[in-house]
Structure 1
Amino acid sequence: MPLQMKLGAITLDCPDPPALAAFSQQATGLEPHPKSDADFAALNGEDGLLIGFQRVDAYRAPSWPCQTVPQRLHIYFDVRDDLDDAEARLLGLGASKPGHQPHDEDRARVLTDPTAHPFCLVKR
């Protein structure tokens, strides 16, 4: 019988928690957590899920798609509207688009946040 658990938080390592939280807040519209500071910032997600960003000294950005510095997490975001519009908005906020795109771009795109964490936009 599985444990009765609910995911409560996801935390990303980064060199500048407030900056990555601001990027993520602009991208998702989630509300900043009131106790965010320079070493740990967070956003209040849906259904109580907290998305955190913690300062790591000597942070090494993942090198997706190669694994020289492996990714630690890969997040998927459902896009209800146009993928091209979502991609353009995120690129304008500071995301990047790697040359390697493993999916059909009509249904999914891989981007990286300003600290190189990869994430996917998926048309639902």
Structure 2
Amino acid sequence: MTTAEDYRERVERGAAFLDEKAPGWVDRIDLDTLDVASDHLCVTAQAVEATYYFALSLLEQSDDDAQELGFVLPEHEHDARADELIAADEDDDLGTVYAPLTQAWRQLIERRRGVTS
């Protein structure tokens, strides 16, 4: 089972990657709409102002790379998370499945911007 720490580690790798490949990306992210499950509102899409798959192409990354960088969940984790939600009788839509990863990105971006909760 993936832990919050696992998500944070991936997100840290992804942020370091974006720092190098898309300088200033943190300021382009709209935290009100950030949703890692969305092709148009995910970190990569907002960071390079393109859809998810076009952003991956521009960044010269594969789906496997995107998983390691915390841009998306690996398929087995996606399926396991959906199964957990179903077992708990919770909504299993993509936004809910990806919520922990979206939250990890939100926290990193807020920390970088100096936002306090």
| TM-score over 0.5 for the pair | no
Q: Report the structure, 1 or 2, having the larger helix content.
A: 2
Structure having the higher Rg = 1
> Relative contact order, CA 8 A, sep 6+: which one is greater?
2
- Tell me the TM-score range normalised by the shorter chain: under 0.3
Greater fraction strand: 1
TM-score (norm 2): 0.26
